[in-house]
Structure 1
Amino acid sequence: MLSHRPLLFALQGSEDYATAVAQRLGCALALHEERDYEDGEHKCRPLDSVNGREVVVFHSLYGDDRQSANDKLCRLLFFCGALKDAGARHVQVVTPYLCYGRKDRRSQPQDPTITRYVATLIEACGIDRLMALEVHNPAAFDNAFRIPARNVQCAELFARHFARHVGDADVVAVSPDSGGAKRAEQFRQALERQLGRPVGSALMEKHRVHMTLTGTLLVGDVAGKTAIVFDDLISTGETLKRAGLACQRDGAARIFAAATHGLFTNGEQLFDPPLFEHIAIADGIPPFRLSTDCVKQHVHVIDSTALIATLLAENGAFECD
């Protein structure tokens, strides 16, 4: 029955994404209130009754000019705690971008493993299930959580996109570092299925000491081919740019790039001068740090809401339109 379908909530900043998913599921977002106090504190509460209901909460945990990643995480935790206190039977969180995914291991003595701390906070607030889009380290993500937590991979989405752009040329999927080799390989296999012909692979050498990147070796043949540099996120863009320049140096005929999460923390520096024919990103983080003209010229935003709607529908409570 319709009255037993899950309630969908979207916290401030994630309304557009959640609305698109809700429309695909044939429903509207539930009502809630967010109130800011003069000293910076806040409260969130549902306005629709959640007692005995299954609830899905959308919130993408990236920092923007309104709220930091910490602010958004805090609001998400408090809101989910309020849902449980109000009698929600089951709370699932969909976070297109999960913050602190890059601090997943100790690289120096006494380093924090913040990915695990975030998982502990999420579990402590009564969240029953989590769905995140393309996490930075799937193994660390799996090990951090004791609740069901799903990493939604986007390789197929990007493969369908680039299959329409590469034509009949030889194609190479390039990982910009060794840590992303498995992710790039999943993309390579997906693109190979889409194209129905072999796709090559290449790997860029990268070493990081604090904020300094080194390494110039590109392993793999890109000469005369279409190279697609594939990563999970773009922050400053330096990792992506180094790999693109190496492809250019080694004779790639065309160069594209893709990353699920486009943070673009250095603004438009990545595009000055343009190196890639275009960069494809998913829509979990809108490219708000880029001008409209820059996005039109250099960025393709890929819709991931259909994928999320399909996964939510798998439990039988929804039917995808």
Structure 2
Amino acid sequence: MSLFHSVSSTSSFTSLRSFPIHSFPRTSLQNAVVRCKVIEPLKFQNGKPSQSELLLNGGGGSIPSFLMPPNARVKDLVNGNDTRLRIFSGTANLSLAQEIACYMGLELGKIKIKRFADGEIYVQLQESVRGCDVFLVQPTCPPANENLMELLIMIDACRRASAKNITAVIPYFGYARADRKTQGRESIAAKLVANLITEAGANRVLACDLHSGQSMGYFDIPVDHVYGQPVILDYLASKTICSDDLVVVSPDVGGVARARSFAKKLSDAPLAIVDKRRQGHNVAEVMNLIGDVKGKVAVMVDDMIDTAGTIAKGAALLHQEGAREVYACSTHAVFSPPAIERLSSGLFQEVIITNTIPVAEQNYFPQLTVLSVANLLGETVWRVHDDCSGGIEPYSSLGID
């Protein structure tokens, strides 16, 4: 029998699979779980989502009633009475930025981004941001250097246009793995990138699932650290899970704290740890397993999947140790080759990721499930903009540091 079974329509949770942007009402978030509303079940072949109808930039339609948050401030924004909040997007993940804006009942700001013949990046804001609270949505996903430089130039353009506050919304923070010196004469690139963002003119950073918590200390400006874990937990909680058959697995010793937190919120499931010895970058060798997974359904939890070497070898070990099924859960889907071959090889019952990084069309496969963090980031943007005023819930209800 499969681990997950459909629940009745009266359940407080709703299953999400690569949904269109109009699936996000702005709702109150409680108990570190994001409630998401989907009009009808969404099923796609090979994990590929359908094209969404974007109600942005004069898309030819009004905002549906279920999208309108029950708050007067959004009505003022939609009616143009309050122009203090502006959201702009780079080219790295335009679809996520559109989902965030639609969740908030706003339109993305007009911005011109182009490349010169020699590859240099040109950015020009197409509307005034003087005295505004500006949020720039741009993950530094592959190509990391291009997207990082684009973010820096966007920040500089906003600063020179006299924006009051500039918040860099970075769903995926690249270079985060270079956060310490493990050998002599190594660069700590995470600190360098933090310095670049600060010097460019950002007043605040909003990041999702940093590779390690100490990366927040590299910034000399406030950092709001949002966890994608509630979105994945919401998806898992929408299914009936037999806690006696469940075990949460950390793919390495460094991810034990993350896996323990995940297990505690998932019916306080038992924990297992894969003892991994890394011989080089993107090269992992699994040694042994700490914990019992025989006859159980294993849920592997990690912050990112790059080449999938670590999580694939861990899954193979779990099957050798008698695990009945293996699920992979990760916030960031980098998916560098040969990740797709490893993930779709039959080791995993399901691979659950979020859309902090856009998934290329050729990288969809049948076991893939894509969840959206748009409502989580959108709610955080509201709270940053409001300085937690207006009687809304504290940051702790969102799982934000």
Rounded Cα–Cα distance in structure 2 between residues aligned with 1:120 and 1:291: 33
Please name the residue that 2:350 is paired with: 278
Please show how residues 159-308 of structure 1 align to structure 2 within 5 Å: 159-165=233-239, 167-168=241-242, 169-192=244-267, 198-211=268-281, 212-267=283-338, 268-288=340-360, 290-292=362-364, 294=365, 297-308=366-377
Please name the residue that 1:96 is paired with: 171
C-alpha deviation, 1:272, in angstroms: 4.9
Please name the residue that 1:311 is paired with: 380
Q: 2:100 aligns with which of 14, 17, 21?
A: 21
C-alpha deviation, 1:209, in angstroms: 2.2
Q: Which runs of 5+ in 1 are unaligned?
A: 193-197
Q: 1:158 aligns with which of 219, 229, 232?
A: 232
Return closer, same or farther for 1:304/1:272 CA change in 2, 3 Å cut-off: closer
CA deviation vs aligned residue, 1:251-304 (integer Å, no higher than 9, x gap)? 111111111011111242113521010100001112216444x1xx11100111
Rounded Cα–Cα distance in structure 1 between residues aligned with 2:157 and 2:167: 13
C-alpha deviation, 1:164, in angstroms: 3.5
Rounded Cα–Cα distance in structure 2 between residues aligned with 1:227 and 1:271: 15
Please name the residue that 2:57 is paired with: none
Rounded Cα–Cα distance in structure 1 between residues aligned with 2:386 and 2:126: 22
CA deviation vs aligned residue, 1:13-48 (integer Å, no higher than 9, x gap)? 322101101111111001011121111112112111
2:196 aligned with 1:112: no
Please name the residue that 1:12 is paired with: 91
Rounded Cα–Cα distance in structure 1 between residues aligned with 2:217 and 2:352: 29
Q: What letter is aligned with 2:356?
A: G
Give yes or no for contact 1:128–1:148 (8 Å, CA) kept in 2: yes
Q: What letter is aligned with 2:144?
A: A
Report the TM-score, using the length of structure 2 for normalisation: 0.73
Return closer, same or farther for 1:106/1:37 CA change in 2, 3 Å cut-off: same
Please name the residue that 1:38 is paired with: 117
Give yes or no for contact 2:343–2:351 (8 Å, CA) kept in 1: no
Percent identical:
27
Return closer, same or farther for 1:150/1:23 CA change in 2, 3 Å cut-off: same
Q: What letter is aligned with 1:52?
A: G
Q: What letter is aligned with 1:16?
A: S
CA deviation vs aligned residue, 1:128-147 (integer Å, no higher than 9, x gap)? 111111111112x1221111
Please name the residue that 1:195 is paired with: none
Return closer, same or farther for 1:145/1:219 CA change in 2, 3 Å cut-off: same
Return closer, same or farther for 1:94/1:234 CA change in 2, 3 Å cut-off: same
Give yes or no for contact 2:353–2:371 (8 Å, CA) kept in 1: yes
CA deviation vs aligned residue, 1:139-175 (integer Å, no higher than 9, x gap)? 2x12211111122112222122223346325211100
Rounded Cα–Cα distance in structure 1 between residues aligned with 2:121 and 2:229: 38
Q: What CA RMSD, in Å, does the superposition of the two structures yield over aligned residues?
A: 1.8
Rounded Cα–Cα distance in structure 2 between residues aligned with 1:34 and 1:51: 20
Q: What letter is aligned with 1:35?
A: K
Give the number of the structure with larger relative contact order, counting CA–CA contacts within 8 Å between residues 6 or more apart: 2
CA deviation vs aligned residue, 1:167-218 (integer Å, no higher than 9, x gap)? 32521110000111111111112212xxxxx311010001112244234211
- 4+ aligned runs moved over 4 Å, structure 1: 316-320
Q: Tell me the number of residue pairs that the alignment of Structure 1 and Structure 2 aligns.
A: 307
C-alpha deviation, 1:123, in angstroms: 0.5
Give yes or no for contact 2:329–2:352 (8 Å, CA) kept in 1: yes
Task: Name the SS of the counterpart of 2:266 in structure 1.
Answer: helix
Give yes or no for contact 2:133–2:385 (8 Å, CA) kept in 1: no
Q: Which runs of 5+ in 2 are unaligned?
A: 1-75, 393-401
Task: Name the SS of the counterpart of 2:186 in structure 1.
Answer: coil
Give yes or no for contact 1:155–1:190 (8 Å, CA) kept in 2: no
Give yes or no for contact 2:248–2:271 (8 Å, CA) kept in 1: yes
CA deviation vs aligned residue, 1:227-265 (integer Å, no higher than 9, x gap)? 000001111101001111111111111111111011111
